[in-house]
Structure 1
C-alpha cells in the first residue's frame, strides 16, 4: 500500500469518526443527554453502516461492530480499562494484523483517578503502543496515548500534543501505533466475528470495531 492510499484511507476513516462524534456530542447545558459509552456504541455501529464496503483506490474496507453479549454485573468490570477494542488487518504486501485498546472520554472529563487507572490497566495488557484515549470534543476526536495521560496530571483536555483521528489512523497504517500481540489473523468474516466476540467476553470490553482492508485491484 503506497503512501497516497494510506493517506486516503486515514482521511476517509478519520473524517467519518469526526462527523459522527460532532453529531453525537452532548453539550453540558442541563446535563449530558448522551454519555461516552453510548457515543462509542453508536459510533461503532454507524461506522459499519457508513464505511463497510467502501472502496479507496485498489483497496476495500470491511468494518464490523460488535458489543459485549453479556450485560450482567461482571461485564462491567473492565479488565483492560478500555471502552473499545479495535482490530485492524491490512492484507497484501506490507500487510499486518494489529489491535489497540481505547478509553473514550468527553473533553470535560473530571474523574482523574478513574482515567489514570484505566490507562494503567490498558498499558499493562496492550503496552503503550496499543493503548489510547479518544477525547470526544464538539469538533470531533482528539487522540492521546495512555502513556501521555500517565505522565500528566490525567486531566482532559491534556496540555501539549494531541493527534487528529485521521493522523491517528495514519500512524496505525504506518505501523507506528497498535500492537501485533492483539491482532486477529485474516479469516472469513464470521470466524473473525467469533474470535473477537470471545475476546470481548474474556476481557469484558464493551465494544469492538473490526477493520479489514483488502486489496481489490
Structure 2
C-alpha cells in the first residue's frame, strides 16, 4: 500500500492519534463501547476528509445502520465495525483492503464471550480481524487469533494502522464492490458482515 516509511508513519500516527483522543475523551464518562464505536467514523471524517496527509489526498465516508432487520447477520458474525481502506499511488495502482473489528472496553471484558465473537469473525476472514480494546489511554489492538490466549494488547493503534498500510493486515476480498464514495456498496458490506458502523478511507498519492 504505502511503501515510503516516512509517509506511512505520518498517516498511521495521525489516524491513531485522532482515534486515541476520541477514546480518551469518551472513557472519562460511564459510556459503553457502542457509544465510542459509533463516533469513530465521524471523528475521522471531521479530521481528515479533503485534507492532505503524508503526501496523500484523503477522502473519508462513513455509514451507520441502526438495524439490520429480522435477517441480521450481526449475531452470528460478531462484527462491530468495518474498516475499508483504498490506497492509490502516483502511477494509478490501487490496493484496497478491509478489516473486521470487534470493540470492547478492556476493563471488565468477558474474554470467553469475546473469544466466541472472534471465532465468528474468523469464519469470515481468518487473519484479517482484530479486537480494539478501549482504555483510558486510547486503543489497544489484538489480532483475533490471539484472543483465546488472553494476551494483553500486543500493539497500539499506531502500530496497527502501520501494519494495515504496509499491507500486512487486511483482506482484499472484503472491500466494497463499487468505486469510492458508493454508499450503496458500503451499505451492502455492512449488511453482509452484520456490522453497524463502517469507515471507508481513500488515500490518493499526490504527484510531486
TM-score normalised by structure 1 residue count = 0.86
**Contact preservation (8 Å) 1:122, 1:131:** yes
Number of the residue aligned with 2:191: 201
Range with bigger deviation, 194-203 or 10-19: 194-203
Q: Structure 1's 203 and 57: CA in aligned 2 closer, same or farther, altered over 3 A?
A: closer
SS at match of 2:116: helix
Range with bigger deviation, 197-206 or 88-97: 88-97
- In the alignment, structure 1 segments of 5+ residues that lack a partner are 28-32
The count of aligned residue pairs is 203
Q: 1:52 aligns with which of 49, 56, 60?
A: 49
Q: Displacement of 1:76 after TM fit? A: 7.5
**Contact preservation (8 Å) 1:98, 1:181:** yes
Q: 1:136 aligns with which of 134, 137, 143?
A: 134
**Contact preservation (8 Å) 1:89, 1:184:** no
Aligned equivalents of 1:89, 1:23: Cα separation in 2: 28
Number of the residue aligned with 1:100: 99
Aligned equivalents of 1:38, 1:147: Cα separation in 2: 26
Q: 2:36 aligns with which of 7, 24, 39?
A: 39
1:1-217 equivalences in 2 (<5 Å): 1=2, 2-26=4-28, 33-70=30-67, 72=69, 74-75=71-72, 77-92=74-89, 95-128=94-127, 130-150=128-148, 152=149, 154=150, 158-159=151-152, 162-184=154-176, 187-189=179-181, 191=182, 193-217=183-207
Q: Displacement of 1:61 after TM fit? A: 1.4
Aligned equivalents of 1:4, 1:77: Cα separation in 2: 38
TM-score normalised by structure 2 residue count = 0.89
- Structural RMSD (CA): 2.0
Q: Displacement of 1:11 after TM fit? A: 0.7
